[in-house]
Amino acid sequence: MSKLALGAALVAVLAINTAGAQIKSATVTGGQVEGVSADGVAAYKGIPFAAAPIGDLRWKGPQPVVAWEGTRKADTYGPSCMQDPNFAKIFAAPPAISEDCLYLNVWTPARSATERLPVMVWIYGGGFVGGMTSVPAYDGTHLAQKGVILVSVAYRLGVFGFLAHPGLSHETGKASGNYGLLDQIASLKWVKANIAAFGGDPSRVTIFGESAGGLSVSMLAASPRARGLFHGVISESGGSFGPPRYGNEGGETVPPLKVAETSGKAFLDKLGAHDIKAARALPAEVIQKALGPGLQGGFWPVFDGEVLPDDQYKLYSAGRFNDTNVLIGTNSDEGSLFVTQTVSPAAFEQQVREGYGARAEVILAASPHATAAEATRAAANLARDSTFAWHTWAWALLQSEKGKGKAYLYYFDHRTARTPNGSGHGSEIGYVFRNLGGPGSGPAGIQGPPTAEDEAISALLSGYWVNFAKTGNPNGAGLPQWPAFSASDQQVLFADRHPGARAVPNMTQLKALDEYYAWRRAQH
């Protein structure tokens, strides 16, 4: 046998031995599951973590999983939660959509249940109206190969996940509206109870998500219902530190319960469902159609006094939050996703004055907008900062001042010939998961073969993320030093062609927004 043939045979034998060493089956809440091993990782897809929220369980908190007989093949993703079917097309995900959607997936490199590897739990984004675990960019194989267990979890969306209504609040005797967040909490309870069977350490769980997933992570970090369920937080373009939204206030998204109940009642009345029993009898497709396409619908998490007790800025200021190390940040050009047409100076001024009230002039002074080009850029930057950047900056300040856990702040600014203005919304995901160049990375993701620079950025981000999951600190061998953030030393890690720690970018705009949010908060 030639040396080449002998080498190939040895590689084949090693591959077989590695695959054979993975955890092929596990006993979890509900029964036995069997996964599929490849490339040194065992993947388990479509494990139920709660009962199907259908029929009388629609708009109720997640209920205990229904047990099954025998061994359940965990080789196929569960259907996506109810949403516009176009989201699956955008993200190259399977088309199956159903109310029966509370499933999770596990990728584990462990060879035995005794390894106690750190765990990373991924929460997808999509504006709380779209998203699914089956997006190819979220495949956990490559992260798991770096020595962590990756879990991705589903949660209810849109009106199914976030309908507040007086009738629903009456049912509980307390509140309604945060079913999607309760799903996330139920999945974390499942992880705590079951991840050891896959070689995971339930005392080393890091939650991470992007956009609405990052917002979810932020909310879980402030929710008493999630206390003790995770030990580290990573939020990509997410954070929810604004005051309650009563109307069209700029940069605010979370309504108080009474406002959300009024909106929810109006929605069901429009469908002719004047009580909850009638609403639960409606086909899911009829309700979904009434929401409209894309990001429409207006359903969002709620300050319900239970899952989300209050404005997170106030909670953190009072020391009422789940104190862990946090790794959080934003992308340099993610506001451009929300500003797709040219904006005139007059239109920009009108937008700011309508949304920012008595502090509009402060915002305008911090946003050069004399020409259409400047106004368009200012509108995109304001979308970036009011939706993402101010919230993560405020979060880092509050965590570093009020908590024992450290805060690590980043700024993703990977520029290419296709993205000369910076990194778009969601464009970091493929780099973090090390899934480059494939389908499903979203409209801002890589298209075509990754370059050497792409690979280097991916090694950088995934290295930091995994180190953080393992130790609570992103730093490690071969990576530029990333200092912890503090009010007196506001350093941010720039992830770009020359990565390293620098001053927080766009500080003039962040301080203008800080003044605005302080004013809004004083009104309530």
440 falls in which pLDDT band (50, 70, 90)?
low
On whether residue 78 sits in a domain, the answer given is yes
Tell me the catalytic residues: 211, 334, 425
Tokens for 409? 């702040």
Q: Burial code of 3-20, b = ≥16 C-beta within 10 A, e = fewer?
A: eeeeeeeeeeeeeeebbe
Return the CA Rg of the chain: 23
Amino acid identity of residue 382, one-letter, is L
Residue pair 276/265 in contact by the 8 Å Cβ criterion? no
On whether residue 209 sits in a domain, the answer given is yes
The H or E element containing residue 453 is helix 452-471
On whether residue 519 sits in a domain, the answer given is no
On whether residue 196 sits in a domain, the answer given is yes
Q: How many CA atoms lie within 13 A of 42 on its CB side?
A: 25
SS3 276: helix
On whether residue 486 sits in a domain, the answer given is no
On whether residue 205 sits in a domain, the answer given is yes
Here the CATH number for the domain that contains residue 230 is: 3.40.50.1820
Would you state the pLDDT for residue 9? 37
Would you state the pLDDT for residue 446? 62
511 falls in which pLDDT band (50, 70, 90)?
very high
Task: Output the pTM of the full model.
Answer: 0.95
- Summarize the confidence of residues 343-364 as an average pLDDT: 97
Distance, in Å, from the CA atom of 471 to the CA atom of 148, rounded to the nearest integer, reads 12
Domain of 279? 3-322
Give the number of domains in the chain.
Answer: 1
pLDDT in tens, 125-141: 999 999 999 999 999 99
> Phi and psi dihedrals of 369, rounded to 5?
-150, 35
Assess whether pLDDT exceeds 70 at residue 519: yes
pLDDT in tens, 332-348: 999 999 999 999 999 99
Q: Would residue 46 be called left, alpha or beta, if left means φ above 0 and alpha means ψ between -120 and 50 degrees?
A: left
Tokens for 126? 């999509």
Q: Which strand ranges, in their side-by-side order, compose the sheet holding 31-34?
A: 25-28, 31-34, 71-73
Q: Taking Cα atoms as reference points, which of 125, 67, 133 lies closest to residue 102?
A: 133
SS3 210: strand
SS3 287: helix
Residues above pLDDT 90, as percent of the chain: 90
- CA distances 218 to 237, 238, 241, 386, Å, are 10, 7, 9, 15
Residue 81 per-residue DSSP state? P
Beta bridge partners of 39: none
Residue 249 per-residue DSSP state? -
Q: Taking Cα atoms as reference points, which of 365, 485, 496 lies closest to residue 420?
A: 496
On whether residue 472 sits in a domain, the answer given is no
Distance, in Å, from the CA atom of 419 to the CA atom of 331, rounded to the nearest integer, reads 12
pLDDT in tens, 175-190: 999 999 999 999 999 9
- CA distances 163 to 157, 265, 312, Å, are 9, 9, 21
On whether residue 241 sits in a domain, the answer given is yes
